[in-house]
Amino acid sequence: MVKLTDEMKTEFAKMKIFPLATASKEGVPNVIPIGMCMLQEDDETIWIVDNYFLKTMENLRENPKAAIYVWGPDINGCFQIKGDIRIIDRGEEYEEMRKIVKAKSDRFPAKYLVKMKISDVFECKSGDEAGKKLL
């Protein structure tokens, strides 16, 4: 698996809202904003909380791949993270995710833990390096 660099981890931590992109089995794209997105200690796994996914969850069940990007006014550079998805609805990791979410607010349902194993990281800022594989 691919691990984010220290610089990427620093920029990731600055993000408040992440665009999450998925596609159906037929390739129909979908992008949503997500606020509960956490890089795990192994630096190669991202936890994404499903509070209100609809098309996104349908897509992930049909096509368990996703992409997010890290960019914004406080971010140095821009990079896209792609990965393979596992949907978790029970067990130790699921319960840990629910504790984190419920500590923030009881209003979030925390239905599923969407676990992304990072497979690739790409440059996404404009210029000659746009689209270049970084990791």
pTM, to two decimals: 0.93
Report the pLDDT value the prediction gives residue 125, as an integer from 0 to 100. Answer: 85
Q: How far apart (Å, rounded) are the C-alpha atoms in residues 100 and 22?
A: 24
| 28 falls within a domain | yes
pLDDT in tens, 19-63: 999 999 999 999 999 999 999 999 999 999 999 999 999 999 999
pLDDT in tens, 53-75: 999 999 999 999 999 999 998 89
| 133 falls within a domain | no
With cut-offs at 50, 70 and 90, classify the pLDDT of residue 127. confident
Q: Nearest CA to 14 among 73, 97, 82?
A: 73
Name the residue range of residue 46's domain: 6-123
Q: How many CB atoms lie within 10 A of CB 86?
A: 14
Question: Domain count of the chain?
Answer: 1
Q: How far apart (Å, rounded) are the C-alpha atoms in residues 95 and 90?
A: 7
Report the pLDDT value the prediction gives residue 50, as an integer from 0 to 100. Answer: 96
Q: Nearest CA to 36 among 130, 114, 119?
A: 114
| 103 falls within a domain | yes
Q: How far apart (Å, rounded) are the C-alpha atoms in residues 66 and 46?
A: 11
Q: How far apart (Å, rounded) are the C-alpha atoms in residues 72 and 45?
A: 22
